[in-house]
Amino acid sequence: MHTDCSAGPPQCCACLGGLVVLFVLVHFWRFDVFSRVRAQAGLVFTVLFVPNIMTLDLREGDRRFDALMAGKQENYTGDATHPKNLSFFERYVLKYGRFYNAGADAKARKEEGIRSTGSLPAGQA
């Protein structure tokens, strides 16, 4: 099953990132290049802006992305807007967690023909 957020592009970006780091370490290594301040800034950026979506089904990410691109972010009430899956910025500044509603999501999944435990439409298991 093809999804908009398949493993190919993120894996490619991770590999390219690794190659960039390797190039920098081999050719431009100096003590001040990777200072403690830059590492701490990267940690803060990650904590503030990167959501924890490791436990989500790819279909949930696609459903949220489709709603976001359609300009209907408030209409998506699924697991991707659960506060445990949002970044600090999304949770406290943008307040996307207020859209989470498990009952409404179950109803929307039923209308879309999506099982609550998987990403296949009903009848295709």
pTM over 0.85: no
Query: CA of 13: how far to CAs of 62, 84, 89, 114, in Å?
Result: 19, 25, 23, 30
- Which residue did the predictor score with more confidence, 8 or 121? 8
Is residue 87 within 8 A of residue 48, CB to CB? The reply is: yes
Mean pLDDT of 63-87: 89
- Whole-angstrom Cα distance, residue 65 to residue 80? 10
pLDDT tens for each residue of 6-47: 555 666 666 677 777 767 766 666 655 566 677 778 888 988
Is residue 100 within 8 A of residue 77, CB to CB? The reply is: yes
- Whole-angstrom Cα distance, residue 122 to residue 77? 20
Q: Report the DSSP beta bridge partners of residue 114.
A: 121
